[in-house]
Amino acid sequence: MYRRNITHILIPLGLGLAVLVSYNLFLKSPSPPSSTQLTDTIEAVAPPPEPPPNRAPEIDSKHARSLDQSVIPSTPHERLLEAIRDEIEKHDLALAESKLKELPPAVLSSSETRPFVAILWNNLGLQQERLHGTQASLNAFKKAAELDDSNPIILLNLAHTYWEQRDRALNAEFLTRLMRVAPQEPFPHLAMADLLQEQDDLTEAAKHLAQAADRARQDPALQSYLAAVTAKVQRTQSVESQMTARSSTHFVVKFDGEEDQGIWTSVLEILEEAYRDIGQKFGHFPSKPIMVVLHTKDSFQGATGSPVWADGLYDPSLGRIQIPTQGATTDSKSLASVLRHEYVHALLHDRLGTNVGALPTWLNEGLAMQWAGDTWPELDQAMQGEISVIPLTSLGGSWGALPPGTSTVAYLEANSATRHMIERWGLARVDALLNAFQAKSSVATAFQNTLFISYEEFQRQWLESFEHNRS
């Protein structure tokens, strides 16, 4: 029954979380996240994975993000604006920004110069983003949009930044305006669908997915992604239409009305405790209520496409923890274990937003195991036995392609390497590491800059302690 034990977290690759992770329309970087799996995976039973997001299509040149700043309006302020433009072109961004902030009110109120100042802010934002990521560019794009909210490129750049930062300002009102200004763009509809999925309005979400698909005809990768999400939304909708939803402050729990209310109560108790307890350890509380769907064994498999033995999963694209409430998980100890483990995945997704894919899978799983307080007897057994160690670098991406029989080792190592990290560097450093991933650092850079050790050296030291603990 080894599989039953470890597999409360194992399920095939969830459809589609990846592409949403960084809507490729905007992707310029040649090195987007290398892994995006928050849903759990297991060898042998994983279905053919989604086309990985890191092979996002090239950015389409028609979606230029910079604006022409060559023609400066001829006004008394021409020289001033020219100087700022040149600073931006010379990449003297701090100076350009301070000059933009100090522009006289007359420049901002004039209908001749105002749109040009918006262009300067936009182009400054692009340079800031190129150097320091979207966190650094948010303010510049906001300024640009304040000055000219009818420019589709500016609004799309701002939307992109909100999206990456999981900024709640990417709300229905903003997206509606974006749809009006950029009516041919699929992105606002995709983002609106995502918002509606979060609010559990799957009917309206499906409509926007269809509108996004209409507008994505030129983009086969986006088309196939949208088709997959649409199918998933429809399947979820049909499964959940019979369910009852009950909310607490921090969770919405859906369950089959026929089911024992007692399960709902104990699920909520476990979750609220996880909210307090893991939130304190982690220093993060979710920004919105987390949805948890309690399935019967049958509806779980049907709704999630997971194998018979899977005992739970977190689905980032639908923002749901899904678990079956029959079989193994009806006993409260393992129910708590499943819920807490998946809750950590949900929390990491909430914390890192669309950049959660930058987090190596072993660390994502390791943190779930550490913070959930998972106890898996078979891991202890595996610890005693003969194993061949998989390099951590091979556990950073999807686990779906791991050779059969190696998933126990993968979890064992994830747990051990993460514990080693927490013990040796402390939670504050781990937190800094998460910040680095949130800013889309590569694994090498993130380790070097926050743990002050190379990734290779970390692995070497961990392996030493790992072997030591086994002997």
Q: Decide: residue 246, CB within 10 A, 0-12 exposed, 13-18 middle, 19+ buried.
A: middle
If the CB atoms of residues 256 and 365 are measured against Zn ion, the closer one turns out to be 365
**SS3 letters across the chain:** CHHHHHHHHCCCCCCCHHHHHCCHHHCCCCCCCCCCCCCCCCCCCCCCCCCCHHHCCCCCHHHCCCCCCCCCCCCCCHHHHHHHHHHHHCCCHHHHHHHHHCCCHHHHHCCCCHHHHHHHHHHHHHHHHHHHCHHHHHHHHHHHHHHCCCCHHHHHHHHHHHHHCCCCCCCHHHHHHHHHHCCCCCHHHHHHHHHHHHCCCHHHHHHHHHHHHHHCCCCHHHHHHHHHHHHHHHHHHHHHCCEEEEECCCEEEEEECCCCHHHHHHHHHHHHHHHHHHHHHHCCCCCCCEEEEEECHHHHHHHHCCCCCCCCEEECCCCEEEEECCHHHHCHHHHHHHHHHHHHHHHHHHHHHHHHHHCCHHHHHHHHHHHHCCCCHHHHHHHHCCCCCCCHHHHCCCCCCCCCCCHHHHHHHHHHHHHHHHHHHHHHHHHHHHHHHHCCCCHHHHHHHHCCCCHHHHHHHHHHHHHHHHC
Q: From 172-180, 188-196, 367-375, 449-457, give the range in contact with Zn ion by CB under 5 A.
A: 367-375
Residues 6+ apart with CB under 8 A from 360: 35, 392, 395, 396, 397, 443
If the CB atoms of residues 113 and 370 are measured against Zn ion, the closer one turns out to be 370
User: Which residue's CB comes closest to Zn ion?
Assistant: 9
If the CB atoms of residues 292 and 368 are measured against Zn ion, the closer one turns out to be 368
If the CB atoms of residues 40 and 164 are measured against Zn ion, the closer one turns out to be 40
Residue 368 sits in the site that holds Zn ion (CB under 5 A): yes
If the CB atoms of residues 147 and 274 are measured against Zn ion, the closer one turns out to be 274
If the CB atoms of residues 46 and 179 are measured against Zn ion, the closer one turns out to be 46
If the CB atoms of residues 10 and 439 are measured against Zn ion, the closer one turns out to be 10
Please give the residues from 13 up to 72 whose contact with Zn ion meets the rule CB under 5 A.
40
Q: From 8-16, 237-245, 294-302, 420-428, give the range in contact with Zn ion by CB under 5 A.
A: 8-16
Please give the residues from 180 up to 239 whose contact with Zn ion meets the rule CB under 5 A.
none
Least distance to Zn ion, CB of residue 51, Å: 23
Least distance to Zn ion, CB of residue 40, Å: 4
Least distance to Zn ion, CB of residue 9, Å: 4
Give me the amino acid identity at 182: A
Least distance to Zn ion, CB of residue 39, Å: 8
Least distance to Zn ion, CB of residue 315, Å: 12
Closest listed residue to residue 70, CA positions, set 61, 82, 83, 80: 82
Interface residue with Zn ion among 6, 7, 8, 9 (CB under 5 A) is 9
Least distance to Zn ion, CB of residue 104, Å: 56
Least distance to Zn ion, CB of residue 375, Å: 15
Q: Give φ, ψ of 13 to 5 degrees.
A: -50, 125
Residue 358 sits in the site that holds Zn ion (CB under 5 A): no
If the CB atoms of residues 9 and 46 are measured against Zn ion, the closer one turns out to be 9
Least distance to Zn ion, CB of residue 344, Å: 8
Least distance to Zn ion, CB of residue 49, Å: 17
If the CB atoms of residues 52 and 312 are measured against Zn ion, the closer one turns out to be 312
Q: From 48-56, 251-259, 357-365, 445-453, give the range in contact with Zn ion by CB under 5 A.
A: 357-365
Residue 323 sits in the site that holds Zn ion (CB under 5 A): no
Least distance to Zn ion, CB of residue 271, Å: 16
Q: From 2-10, 162-170, 419-427, 434-442, give the range in contact with Zn ion by CB under 5 A.
A: 2-10
Q: Total residues at the site for Zn ion (CB under 5 A)? A: 4
Q: Which residues bind Zn ion (CB under 5 A)?
A: 9, 40, 365, 368
